[in-house]
Amino acid sequence: MNTSTFEIFKTDPSTGARRGCLMTAHGPVETPVFMPVGTQATVKAMTPAELEDIGSQIVLSNTYHLNVRPGIDTVEKCGGLHRFMGWNRAILTDSGGYQVFSLAKLNKITDEGVEFQSHFDGARHFLGPETAMGIQRRLGSDIAMVFDECTPYPCDRDYACKAVDRTLAWAVCCARQAHADGQLVFGIVQGSTYADLRERCARGLIEIGFDGYAIGGVSVGEPHELILRGIDDSVGYLPADRPRYLMGVGSMPHMVEAVARGVDMFDCVIPTRLARHGTAFTRTGKYPVKASIHSQDVRPVEEGCGCYACRKFSRAYVRHLMNVNEILGIRLLTIHNLHRYREFELEMRTAIEEGRFGRYKDEFLKSYKE
């Protein structure tokens, strides 16, 4: 475990919000931070240069999917994941544990790991703590996630308890594995909707010792109030001097609530996936660009936005591109949405630095409409 990778510069006086910086082998990651998702070694519709222009310092990729295609041998032969995808800033790799949940019909879970049937060609693959960490070591990611079992919602207590037992046993095994030079390793808190199980999992992970800690098993189908409760049941047990990562959560209202509770890192496919379906995010909510009301709308996607799409093009033009299935429409909306998320994280950082995050959160939630 590294001991000096995360520094907190400022804490908000009225909430648990923290302003910090995580040092990685490929540079600093300012927090709070939203990580664009690049599951297949690319953030959909974006070039690395465009991500850099937006100001992204870290992206997320996925161990399971890269092991299926193109295969770890190919990535390693091409010089590791950074060189393979042309991205020289930080990369976090999910261990594949989430696929235990999302591909449940294609897997068989045992105490040793998970046997997957590939969603691509039906071939059988095995992923356990040793193999997941070995793949991430060969990928050369900056942050490797331990292999865990993410439970569905709803989940009965007996199964959730067994999943916590597996998660902790696998975490011990992951901690013993060799890592790439400078690679950080994060543990993942599970426990479904059961507060005592989340506490037990968090305390067990801390006893093992990791560079950071993630809150897993939230945003898996449960309602808003249970997402917040899952955060509350986990974050209070995590060390203050380590980064805290809420996995798979990317709704702006959820993010601002989580930052107020002391969470530092987020990832989600929401801004890129919804861009492909014609949804634009703004400071006050989201709306469908493809709607007929925008057919002759000369305004930018978001008034006052400085992204490339908003500086150059109208809503009418972006709507036209989306409605005739031109790729540029998806690219422009993706650029805008990720820029909006980048502005959102900068706004949160500034509010923490100025000691007014509590007021910022209340004003944001009041004005933002889902």
Residues marked active site are found at 94, 267
User: Which tokens sit at 95?
Assistant: 């261990």
DSSP state of 221: S
Contact 92, 58 (CB under 8 A): yes
Pairwise CA distance, residues 279 & 346, whole Å = 22
Neighbours of 301 (CB within 10 A): 28
Residue with tokens 């000096």: 4
Neighbours of 84 (CB within 10 A): 19
Strands of the sheet containing 33-36, edge to edge, are 33-36, 265-268, 244-246, 212-215, 184-189, 143-145, 90-94, 58-62
Residue with tokens 């959730």: 160
Pairwise CA distance, residues 76 & 67, whole Å = 11
Contact 237, 202 (CB under 8 A): yes
Pairwise CA distance, residues 345 & 43, whole Å = 18
Within its chain, how far is the Cα of 56 from the centroid?
A: 13
User: Which tokens sit at 258?
Assistant: 């989580």
